[in-house]
A and B are shown apart, each in its own frame.
Chain A
Amino acid sequence: NAGVTQTPKFRVLKTGQSMTLLCAQDMNHEYMYWYRQDPGMGLRLIHYSVGEGTTAKGEVPDGYNVSRLKKQNFLLGLESAAPSQTSVYFCASSYAPYEQYFGPGTRLTVT
């Protein structure tokens, strides 16, 4: 099993550009999450999903949108990137709202 995978691993955007980050899991988990982590900081929850077709806001949802059209995939979109969104983005999945499995992260730089 690949576990949780994230695409891409690195990306550089210019202010105002848009992009989508893809998270995929092969563990048949119901719950999926998107976090961001800034240097020296803990993880902050952006959005999460408790099942296919559902999404909910986390701690820092502004500037991001998500979709969960398939159970195994959770997409994070930035419609108009800003330098404040420079961060490392982690996706995670879990069977229940405990014991999350994390992906390797996507390092995003917005110039």
Chain B
Amino acid sequence: LAKTTQPISMDSYEGQEVNITCSHNNIATNDYITWYQQFPSQGPRFIIQGYKTKVTNEVASLFIPADRKSSTLSLPRVSLSDTAVYYCLVEDDKIIFGKGTRLHILP
């Protein structure tokens, strides 16, 4: 069972780049790494997914080192609306969301 560990909370300021790191030491060969965002009173929303190296979309970048034991979600130039909880998942046969990282963006 690939368990993930991420910081409980983070603060940042508008316009800065935010990096949230997730560790997953027991990740299996076939597992993908997926990040979700959740606003209060809403269901989570898929942000990005990757297997290795770097993945980028219009919302974020995902950096995965060669050993795949960790991953970093990078949010460029955050705004107040990026205040949310961010979940890192390793998609094996057990889907475990964990408590996520509460990101608070300050003006």
Contact = CB atoms under 8 A, between A and B. Distances in A.
Interface of A: 4, 33, 35, 40-45, 48, 58-59, 90, 92, 97-105
Contacts of A33: 95
B43 A42 contact: no
Main secondary structure on B side of the interface with A: loop
A42 B99 contact: yes
B46 A99 contact: yes
B41 A105 contact: yes
Contacts, number: 49
B94 to A, nearest CB: 7
Nearest to A97: B91
Nearest to B96: A59
B57 to A, nearest CB: 12
Nearest to A99: B46
Nearest to B87: A42
A45 B100 contact: no
A45 B95 contact: yes
B24 to A, nearest CB: 15
A111 to B, nearest CB: 21
Nearest to B41: A105
Interface in B1-51: 32, 34, 36, 41-46, 49
A58 B43 contact: no
